[in-house]
Amino acid sequence: MIDRKLDDASDHILSFLDARDATVTGTTTTYKDLRDTFDAIISCGYFSRTIRTFSHDADKDEAQTNGHDLHGV
């Protein structure tokens, strides 16, 4: 039973990574469409921004990052 579920899960992952033209189970969407949407989201630039915080201390007027630097931007 668990082996079958693992096989099914790995098939879904491989189909997504390979952008196969097969439909995702229970939908009319293909893995290729899903991968294209995923790639568009990743490449939009949103996830490559640096997260910034600002100090309320009067001696510190400059913006400081909170230790998170996504892709060095």
Q: What is the DSSP string of 10-67?
A: HHHHHHHHHT-SSBPTTSS-BHHHHHHHHHHHHTTSGGGSPPEEE---TT--SEEE-S
List pLDDT tens digits, range 5-27. 999 999 999 999 999 999 998 99
List the domain boundaries for the chain: 2-65
Q: Which of 4, 29, 8 is nearest to 19 (CA)?
A: 29
What integer pLDDT is reported at residue 16 of this predicted model? Answer: 94
The more confident residue out of 66 and 31 is 31
Looking at residue 69, the DSSP 8-state letter turns out to be -
- Residues 2-6: what's their mean pLDDT? 93
| Cα gap 38→67, rounded to integer Å | 27
**What tens digit of pLDDT does each residue of 43-56 get?**
888 878 777 777 77
| pTM of this structure | 0.60
